[in-house]
Amino acid sequence: MYDIKETYKARSVEEALALLEGHPGAVLVNGGTDVMIRMKEGKLTDAVLISIMDVPEIIGISLRENGDIAIGAGTCFRDIYHSEIIRGAVPALAHAANQVGSPQIRHVATIGGNLCNGAVSADSVPILLALNAELELAGAQGARRVAVTQFHTGPGKTVLQKGRELLTAIVIPKEEYAGRYGSYIKFGQRNAMEIATLGAAVCLKLGADKTRLEDIRIAFSVAGPTPLRCAKTEAALKGMALTGDMVKALRQGVIQEVQPRDSWRASKQLRLQLVKELGERALRQAAEEAGGTIHD
């Protein structure tokens, strides 16, 4: 038996917000694959759970009139992986969605839960950071939009006002994905049912002749207290020719911008090595996706 005091089922965003307001300390739950484990481990006790798995308005993937891609927060990873919209426009996100847990987990676990749990190891987050995705939050006081780069504030912590707000959608603006190519590389001890030891994502745009970086974003998970971007390295690489020097600049830059720590999963030293190595591999993979050739 789980340590649950009461369970509720919301059928709409409005109902979920009303239930949250009426039950201080209540926890929103969708697929439950993280929340249930927190209860198992005794980290969540005497829980009041508000299920949002039956809220149709936050499920599904759509292409908005302006070309932006909107992913409902309650969309499960399986549906993201199989979505034609996602595979066509942001294949690196489809790939990242398929790195989560196992097939059974991906059938119920949602992208919204992956974000809101605030885990530094969340598989969907590095590529969303590199895509400059935006998050739509609903609250009793109205809706607001937050850049995913501003969302995480610490391990397990986000700007979401607990008990008052609900993540409804993840938006990838058209200008952030059109003409850009991305990659996500996860490192773990095994290929399935694994929490990332480190994750690296790159999203880049090449110049017209495909010999130079017009723009690049680099993001890592488990390389600091939150999933993070490497803004200084990005700025340094912008405009560089696709050469070994560019790769070297990435390797030297990213190491200055991360703050990994020792944990039982891996040492700080190994993570620093992975930051360089996976950063480089993610860069090479994204450049190849974009049709560029790196001249070492």
Partner 1 sequence: MIKTIHLTVNGRAVELGVDQRESLTDTLRNRLGLTSVKKGCEAGECGACTVLLDGKSVNSCIYLSVWADGHSILTVEGLTKENGELHPIQQAFVEEAAIQCGFCTPGLVMTGVEIANSGKTYTREELRELISGHLCRCTGYENILNALERVVGRKENGTL
Which residues of this chain interact with partner 1, rule CB under 8 A? 1-4, 6-7, 9, 32-33, 36-37, 40, 49, 51, 53, 78, 101-105, 107-108, 191-193
Q: Write the CB contacts of 107 (distance below 8 Å, at least 6 apart in sequence).
A: 76, 78
* Tokens coding 275: 């930051």
Name which of 77 and 151 has its Cβ closer to partner 1.
77
Q: Taking the complex as a whole, how short is the minimal distance between the CB of residue 91 and partner 1, in angstroms?
A: 17
Name which of 104 and 259 has its Cβ closer to partner 1.
104
E strands in the chain: 4-9, 27-29, 47-51, 61-63, 69-72, 134-139, 144-147, 152-154, 157-158, 165-172, 181-187, 198-206, 213-221, 228-229
Name which of 1 and 208 has its Cβ closer to partner 1.
1
Name which of 104 and 267 has its Cβ closer to partner 1.
104
Place of tokens 């942001």: 90
Name which of 59 and 242 has its Cβ closer to partner 1.
59
Please name which of 211, 249, 210, 206 lies closest in space to residue 230, comparing C-alpha atoms: 249
Name which of 49 and 283 has its Cβ closer to partner 1.
49
Q: What is the DSSP letter of 10?
A: -
Q: Write the CB contacts of 17 (distance below 8 Å, at least 6 apart in sequence).
A: 138, 139, 140, 164, 166
Name which of 29 and 218 has its Cβ closer to partner 1.
29
Q: Taking the complex as a whole, how short is the minimal distance between the CB of residue 2 and partner 1, in angstroms?
A: 5
The SS3 of residue 208 is: coil
Q: Taking the complex as a whole, how short is the minimal distance between the CB of residue 96 and partner 1, in angstroms?
A: 15
Q: Taking the complex as a whole, how short is the minimal distance between the CB of residue 3 and partner 1, in angstroms?
A: 7
Neighbouring CB atoms inside 10 A of 172's CB total 25
* Residue 50 to residue 146: CA distance in whole angstroms: 23
Q: Taking the complex as a whole, how short is the minimal distance between the CB of residue 130 and partner 1, in angstroms?
A: 25
* Tokens coding 205: 């745009």
* Residue 93 to residue 194: CA distance in whole angstroms: 18
How would you label 178-197 residue by residue, b for 16+ Cβ within 10 Å and e otherwise? eebbbbbbbbbeeeeebbbb
Q: Taking the complex as a whole, how short is the minimal distance between the CB of residue 31 and partner 1, in angstroms?
A: 9
* Tokens coding 97: 């969605």
Name which of 107 and 205 has its Cβ closer to partner 1.
107
Q: Taking the complex as a whole, how short is the minimal distance between the CB of residue 81 and partner 1, in angstroms?
A: 11
State the helix-helix crossing angle for 244-257 and 268-289, rounded to 10 degrees: 140
Q: Taking the complex as a whole, how short is the minimal distance between the CB of residue 114 and partner 1, in angstroms?
A: 15
